[in-house]
Structure formats: C-alpha cells, structure tokens
Amino acid sequence: MTECAEADCEREAAVELHIPWDANRTVCTAHARVWSQKDGVVPEPLDEFDAEFR
Ligand SMILES: [Zn+2]
C-alpha cells in the first residue's frame, strides 16, 4: 500500500492530488477532503491503482 504523503499520517493513500503550485502527491481520503478545499487542487481517486492489488 501507499501511505498518505502528509506528515504524521499513516493512513492508506487513496487519492492523487494535482497541485498547480507543487508536485503531485497521494494522500488518504481525509486529507484529500482538506486539500480539495484549496483553489486549483484537483483530486483524482486511485481506483486503477487499487484494482491491481485486489
Ligand atoms: Zn492523510
């Protein structure tokens, strides 16, 4: 599994964030919700990634 990119967060990353002013990062659903409030950030679920591991 991929861990959330946020510091001190050990949940599984489930969403890739496209951040206009920074590199893309993968985060858990909770952090994706926080990030998606920011202007210009586009969250993209990692469904394809998950499917490969089931
Ligand atoms: Zn997180």
| Domain that includes residue 15, residue range | 1-54
pLDDT at res. 22: 95
Cα(48) to ligand 1 centroid in Å equals 19
pLDDT in tens, the chain (54 residues): 799 999 999 999 999 999 999 999 999 999 999 999 999 999 999 875 555 554
Q: What are 27's strand-pairing partners?
A: 15
pLDDT at res. 30: 96
Cα(36) to ligand 1 centroid in Å equals 13
**Residue 5 · residue 16 · CB < 8 Å:** no
Rounded alpha-carbon distances, angstroms, from residue 3 to 39, 40: 24, 23
**Residue 14 · residue 34 · CB < 8 Å:** no
Q: How many domains does the chain have?
A: 1
Unique residue bearing structure tokens 């469904």: 47
Question: Helices marked H in the chain — which ranges?
Answer: 29-35, 47-51
Rounded to 5 degrees, what are φ and ψ at 31? -70, -30
Cα(28) to ligand 1 centroid in Å equals 4
